[in-house]
Structure 1
Amino acid sequence: MTSLQLVLLVLAGFGAGMVNAVAGGGSFFTFAALVFSGLPTLDANATSAAALTPANFASVVGYRAEVRKHFAEMLPFMVLGMIGAAVGAWLLIAIGDAGFRPTVPWLLLAATVLFAASSQINRLIAPFAASSTKATRWLAFLLIGIVTVYGGFFGAGMGIMMLAALTIIESGNFHKSNAIKNVVALLVQVVSSALLIAGGLVHWPHALITTAASIAGGYLGVSVARRVPERIIRAVVVTVGAMLTLVFFLR
């Protein structure tokens, strides 16, 4: 690893931790930095997932009161998350880098669109959350299953769709939905990271540097959240995502 690559990983990890503390989307930064530091796209995706997992424990700790209160109700979602993550990680390992590389620009495009349209998605699901039916709840539960598979495979933008589905199931109880989302997303990352590590896809020097920087960025991200409006952070994430999408389509 060159000095330039080291600096790039530190900056990307720090930026990822900071934006994840405010709006999400940090994996855009780390995935790109790991690819540009010389890792194959598959290994970069796996290393990014493993590197950002420890910092996301803070999200669960922040909702510890809701987690304790609703833990029994969370169990089906937790089981679904672990199964979906295992399936997604298995698919990722099975197709290998040659199969994963052509999907990267499309995955980046999908994640960028999700981040850009997150406000519109929230407004769209609001009527369903206020008067959800048995059919819409089952469709939302199915969506969560699909999203957890996607989370084990790639992950960027997973939280947006999961929160939208949970808001329908929980009839608009945002803090309960967000607590469930954080727990399930963490389990998705833990399970998928464990399988990717077992598959030998995680590069530990890169992962440890990125992890340390992301924890520092996450800690400082709280103070940033108090000063910078979330819409500005989201605009930065969408801009980075759009630039990466264009770069990977042209590669």
Structure 2
Amino acid sequence: MIDLLILLAAAFGAGVLNTIAGGGTFLTFPALVMVGVPPVAANATSAVAVFPGYLAGALGFREELASYNRARLLRLSVVALAGAAVGSGLLLVSSNEAFSAVVPFLLLASTLAFLYGERIRAFAAARARGVTPEGAIGLFLVAVYGGYFNGGLGIVLLALFALWGMRDIHRMNGLKNGLSFVISLISVGIFAAAGLVAWPYAIAMMIAATLGGYAGAPLARRLPKQAVRGLIGLIGFGMSGVFLWRLIEGA
């Protein structure tokens, strides 16, 4: 019961964070590991837990998504699906030991991407080259990362879009949510088929994350942006340190 309460609290908090600014994975993944779920299964279960949020986000930006050429959206979705399938497949063949070895660095990279997302997007925008085959390769690589470990995926996608030359943040967010949903859809399907998902935990966390997302809407209008960024940074760096310590202790 204590384990379940920890997971429900983490999922609810993740729903709130994702609605306000993102970063919910920093709560769901460590909480699952804390209650004894093996790292690879914890990552898969965490992906399922936050999946409804991506669907809700995509629906919320349906007008922005509708503004894109359908053929272009289909091409981008196919590239994202292929990359996510590769990333999810890499997770399937990763041992818990190997995944645990890279988790601290994935968490750290995700935290830095979140905290410096504006600068990353500005840097990318200054070097915008437009959508080219090279851009498709970039999306494929980002989708591989998202299929393997989706922390900070949204920030990386926005930076990629800026590199493509996109400027309208609302259309960028629409495309980000749409492709995040596509990436999560194939990942969740692969993880479920492989039997990696701890379903009792996943279902309970999905419900809690959805409630947290609903509760996060009014908070998003009231909390100072810097306070939210500071909180997520604290959680991200803290979790990176905890997993690095676990790695060192187990060496």
- TM-score by length of structure 2 reads 0.92
Aligned match of 2:22: 24
Alignment partner of 2:5 out of 7, 10, 17: 7
- Decide whether the 8 Å contact of 1:82 with 1:191 is kept in 2: yes
Taking the TM superposition and a 5 Å limit, the aligned residue runs for 1:63-74 are 63-70=61-68, 72=70, 73-74=72-73
Q: Kindly state the Cα deviation for residue 138 of structure 1 after the two structures are TM-superposed.
A: 4.8
Aligned match of 2:104: 105
Which segments of 5 or more consecutive residues in structure 2 lack a partner in the other structure? 247-251
Report whether the alignment pairs 1:133 with 2:132.
Answer: no
- Decide whether the 8 Å contact of 2:125 with 2:165 is kept in 1: no
Q: Which amino acid aligns with 1:204?
A: W
Report whether the alignment pairs 1:147 with 2:134.
Answer: no
Aligned match of 1:55: 53
Deviation by residue 1:28-72 (Cα, 9 ceiling, x = unmatched): 100011000110111100000011101221111111111222151
Bigger CA drift: 64-73 or 217-226?
A: 64-73
Q: Kindly state the Cα deviation for residue 127 of structure 1 after the two structures are TM-superposed.
A: 2.4
Taking the TM superposition and a 5 Å limit, the aligned residue runs for 1:1-251 are 3-70=1-68, 72=70, 73-128=72-127, 132-133=128-129, 137-251=132-246
Q: Would you say how many aligned residue pairs link Structure 1 and Structure 2?
A: 245
- Decide whether the 8 Å contact of 1:14 with 1:218 is kept in 2: yes
Q: Secondary structure at the match of 1:53?
A: helix
- Decide whether the 8 Å contact of 1:141 with 1:169 is kept in 2: no
Q: 1:71 to 1:22 in 2, by over 3 A?
A: farther
Q: Which amino acid aligns with 1:188?
A: I
Q: Which amino acid aligns with 1:65?
A: E
Distance 1:103 1:75 in 2: 32
Q: Secondary structure at the match of 1:70?
A: coil
- TM-score by length of structure 1 reads 0.92
Q: Kindly state the Cα deviation for residue 137 of structure 1 after the two structures are TM-superposed.
A: 4.9
Q: Secondary structure at the match of 1:171?
A: coil
Q: Which amino acid aligns with 2:60?
A: G
Q: Kindly state the Cα deviation for residue 235 of structure 1 after the two structures are TM-superposed.
A: 1.6
- Decide whether the 8 Å contact of 1:137 with 1:168 is kept in 2: no
* Identity value in percent: 36
Q: Kindly state the Cα deviation for residue 170 of structure 1 after the two structures are TM-superposed.
A: 4.5
Bigger CA drift: 158-167 or 24-33?
A: 158-167
Q: Kindly state the Cα deviation for residue 22 of structure 1 after the two structures are TM-superposed.
A: 1.4
Distance 1:71 1:188 in 2: 20
Q: Kindly state the Cα deviation for residue 175 of structure 1 after the two structures are TM-superposed.
A: 1.7
Distance 1:69 1:118 in 2: 25
Q: Kindly state the Cα deviation for residue 221 of structure 1 after the two structures are TM-superposed.
A: 0.9
Bigger CA drift: 239-248 or 71-80?
A: 71-80
- Decide whether the 8 Å contact of 2:30 with 2:239 is kept in 1: yes
Q: Which amino acid aligns with 2:143?
A: T
Q: Which amino acid aligns with 1:114?
A: A
Distance 1:230 1:152 in 2: 29
